Structure 1
Amino acid sequence: MDMPPPLLSPGLRLAARVGLLLGLVLLGGWIIHGFLPALVWAVILAVATWPLYRRAQERRSRPSRVLLPTLATAALAFLFLIPLGLAGLQLAREAANALRWFAEIREHGAAAPDWVATLPLVGEWATGWWNETLAAPEAGTAFLHRLGEGELIGLGRQFGGALLHRAVLFGFALLALFFLFRDGDVLADQVHRVADRLFGPGSHRVADQVTASVRGTVSGLVLVGLGEGVLLGIAYAVAGVPHPVLLGALTGVAAMIPFAAPVVFGAAALLLLAAGKLAAAIGVFAFGALVLFVADHAIRPALIGGATRLPFLWVLLGILGGVEAFGLLGLFVGPAVMAVLVLLWRDAAGESPAALHPPGIDNPG
């Protein structure tokens, strides 16, 4: 029996197949778009920690497909949960102190502390506002009443809902991370083969460049930022800044974002200045500026630019533009995109593959 002739020409059939494939990809992306940030975080964590995971895997005579991925995932989970838990406990204590302070204001009022008048530029205005608003019991009661108990309850519910949503995404990221650890070698091999089939031999260098960028960014931003937080936390404790551990942790997080750390150690210096400790305030600010200068001009360019052969200007643009476009994820996505673009530019300019290929790249997992 003869087969009927095809309804579409070969060119139209190819276009229909491509259109169907793109449609399915877009549909799948729309279905999982709410979980894409969690998936991206899982990939970033897997890529950044893959060399350590491979070393642990090689030390076992018979690597387990369940035990080792579970232990690695649990270790990373605790790495995030322990600092967050400590910060949450500290915030809970501060919130309890604030509630007691509000209750005292309602009952007795509160005169402006002496340090308010010493604030630069705004000291006189702040003292006048405080005395008019909070000094007398009836003024404090009126001010707190204007805050609106219903609004505070509503804000609390919104915060609780946002916290629950992020907890679900964090759990999903850990689940995805487990499977990335378990099947990382297979996935890396598939990525390389698909890239070579779609874009030609050697195109997997783009994936290698992304891998190098993520690892360089983790080293240059996260590890260096945590180091800055530890050093400045010690400085806060020596200088007598209130809550040095909490402020040190905030400094470490802020130091991962360019130009954000001075806001924290500048605030710490202002607290010391308000307490009348001028020398300590100058010392904390000067030490913070020195640590930031060394980190941003010597250590980070070597770690990030050295791993990706990317000029630091493009690293900086990738970080700032990535944060503006994608939030915290942009810290890693932005430099990775810039690294790929520079790689393609150098490839088009005719540089040799040896000059283009980042050194020391392992499978990304």
Structure 2
Amino acid sequence: MGFQMLNDRLMVLLLLLALLGASLWVLLPFASALFWAAVLAFASWPLMRILTNWLNGRESVAAAILTGGWVLLVAVPLLLLGLNMADHIRGATELINTMRVEGLPPAPGWLAGVPLVGESLVRLWNNLDQQGSALFTTIRPYLGEVGNWLLGRSAKIAGGILELALSLVLVFFFYRDGPRLADFVEGLLERLIGDRAQHYLDLVAATVQRVVNGVIGTAVAQGALALIGFWIAGVPGALPLGLLTVVFSLIPMGPPFVWIPATAWLVWQGEYGYAVFLGIWGTFGISGVDNVLKPYLISRGGNLPLVVVLLGVFGGLYAFGFMGLFLGPTLLAVAYSLLSGWVSEARTSRKAKEPHGAE
């Protein structure tokens, strides 16, 4: 009888594991979108709570309003940015085709005025113009590979936009059903690890909140520094470029894609002094603050050593991509807490067993 009951329990356990594996397999294509929707909902949950109170507890309406706000703040600017990039790519393609037929335009007047190397640059420009046909004949076999590479990158960008759109759809359900999902996760963890479930839930929540604060705070700081640099250097559209820097700061190594073209534009205009200033300001100010401010904001208010946070941020980015910015510190925080608790319990147990005379 006992053997039969053991077989029945084993069969039920295997069926549950198979069901869990099949469910994870179904959700795997949407793992990234689910992750970002959960992070976005968690980071803005105080707004959801305030808005729900204002609307007398109508959670669905509050969730719809917040989701619409995220669409306006995130999806629309990214769509406009994508259309703008498409226009620039089209313009670059037309320029290449024109150069193939007509050659390079005359060398700009400022090129000869570059100290020390101006005349050499003008000669190089003229040589390239004279040898343009031969140059394009040489590089023609590689243009197909470059086109395929650009096509692959475009497909990735399109996939990322679709993933973002799915995240903004899913965040509505995280807003609306957030309390029920939290109760389900808490009950599941209590079933697995007992009374310590709430402690680890609080640990994960605090770590994610600090990471979100660090990412957003650093993005705002980089945008402000970029705005100051563009304004001092006289770059037109300093405010839109500063806002664009905030958006690109959410992407690893993103800000250089804003301030480097601005620096190149200053060189093209012959503003070499401001170009040098903006290059130094961008390297050590705009981009450099990311390596200092973000780890500080993430570690502030917690009991994690700074080295653990740094390893979590950079190791997570390397291992998981952009998701690792949140996963890395969270995983190391939970592991550090587990090990610290285990060591503390062992020390407490050892001290309790020591004879009173040894005190």
TM-score (norm 1): 0.77
Which moves more between the two structures, 245-254 or 312-321?
Answer: 245-254
Q: Answer yes or no: is the 8 Å Cα contact 1:224–1:300 preserved in 2.
A: yes
Partner residue in 2 for 1:281:
275
Superposition deviation, residue 68 in structure 1: 1.4
Whole-angstrom CA distance in 1 between matches of 2:132 and 2:237? 29
Which has the larger share of helix? 2
Whole-angstrom CA distance in 2 between matches of 1:123 and 1:243? 30
Whole-angstrom CA distance in 2 between matches of 1:307 and 1:13? 49
Which moves more between the two structures, 93-102 or 46-55?
Answer: 93-102
Superposition deviation, residue 177 in structure 1: 1.2
Partner residue in 2 for 1:360:
none
Superposition deviation, residue 93 in structure 1: 3.3
The answer to whether the aligner puts 1:47 opposite 2:42 as a matched pair is: yes
After superposition, residues 52-201 of structure 1 pair within 5 angstroms as 52-61=47-56, 63-110=57-104, 133-136=128-131, 138-139=133-134, 142=137, 145-146=140-141, 148=143, 152=147, 158=152, 161-201=155-195
Q: Provide Cα deviations, 1:183-237, integer angstroms capped at 9, x if missing partner.
A: 1111112212221221011322222222222221111113321331243034224
Q: What is the DSSP-based 3-state SS (H/G/I as helix, E as strand, rest coil) of the residue aligned with 1:203?
A: helix
Q: Provide Cα deviations, 1:293-334, integer angstroms capped at 9, x if missing partner.
A: 56643x434431124432222222111111111111111111
The answer to whether the aligner puts 1:331 opposite 2:339 as a matched pair is: no
Whole-angstrom CA distance in 1 between matches of 2:38 and 2:124? 50
The answer to whether the aligner puts 1:31 opposite 2:26 as a matched pair is: yes
Whole-angstrom CA distance in 2 between matches of 1:129 and 1:20? 72
Superposition deviation, residue 82 in structure 1: 2.6
Whole-angstrom CA distance in 2 between matches of 1:252 and 1:99? 29
Q: CA RMSD in A?
A: 3.8
Q: Which sections of structure 1, spanning at least 5 residues, go unmatched?
A: 352-365
Q: What is the DSSP-based 3-state SS (H/G/I as helix, E as strand, rest coil) of the residue aligned with 2:197?
A: coil
Q: Answer yes or no: is the 8 Å Cα contact 2:103–2:132 preserved in 1.
A: yes
Superposition deviation, residue 41 in structure 1: 0.9
Whole-angstrom CA distance in 1 between matches of 2:309 and 2:31? 24
| Structure 1 residues 260 and 64: alpha-carbon distance in aligned structure 2, compared to 1, 3 A threshold | closer
Q: Provide Cα deviations, 1:157-181, integer angstroms capped at 9, x if missing partner.
A: 6556545543443333223211111
Partner residue in 2 for 1:354:
none
Partner residue in 1 for 2:353:
none
Partner residue in 1 for 2:212:
218
Name the structure, 1 or 2, with higher relative contact order (CA <8 Å, separation 6+): 1
Q: Answer yes or no: is the 8 Å Cα contact 2:75–2:165 preserved in 1.
A: no
Partner residue in 2 for 1:358:
none
Q: Answer yes or no: is the 8 Å Cα contact 2:309–2:329 preserved in 1.
A: yes
| Structure 1 residues 246 and 13: alpha-carbon distance in aligned structure 2, compared to 1, 3 A threshold | farther
Whole-angstrom CA distance in 2 between matches of 1:22 and 1:117? 73
Whole-angstrom CA distance in 2 between matches of 1:310 and 1:130? 56
Aligned residue pairs total 343
Q: Provide Cα deviations, 1:265-312, integer angstroms capped at 9, x if missing partner.
A: 466445535654333134324444245556643x43443112443222
Superposition deviation, residue 243 in structure 1: 6.8
TM-score (norm 2): 0.78
Q: Answer yes or no: is the 8 Å Cα contact 1:216–1:304 preserved in 2.
A: yes
Partner residue in 1 for 2:340:
346
Whole-angstrom CA distance in 1 between matches of 2:29 and 2:123? 48
Q: Give % identity.
A: 30
The answer to whether the aligner puts 1:309 opposite 2:303 as a matched pair is: yes
Whole-angstrom CA distance in 2 between matches of 1:46 and 1:277? 45
Whole-angstrom CA distance in 1 between matches of 2:316 and 2:44? 22
Q: Answer yes or no: is the 8 Å Cα contact 1:305–1:312 preserved in 2.
A: yes
| Structure 1 residues 67 and 276: alpha-carbon distance in aligned structure 2, compared to 1, 3 A threshold | same
Q: Provide Cα deviations, 1:76-134, integer angstroms capped at 9, x if missing partner.
A: 122211321232233133224323322331232115657778999x9999878765555
Q: Which sections of structure 2, spanning at least 5 residues, go unmatched?
A: 346-359
After superposition, residues 238-249 of structure 1 pair within 5 angstroms as 238-241=232-235, 248=242
Partner residue in 1 for 2:196:
202
Whole-angstrom CA distance in 2 between matches of 1:83 and 1:294? 25
Superposition deviation, residue 48 in structure 1: 0.8
The answer to whether the aligner puts 1:8 opposite 2:4 as a matched pair is: yes
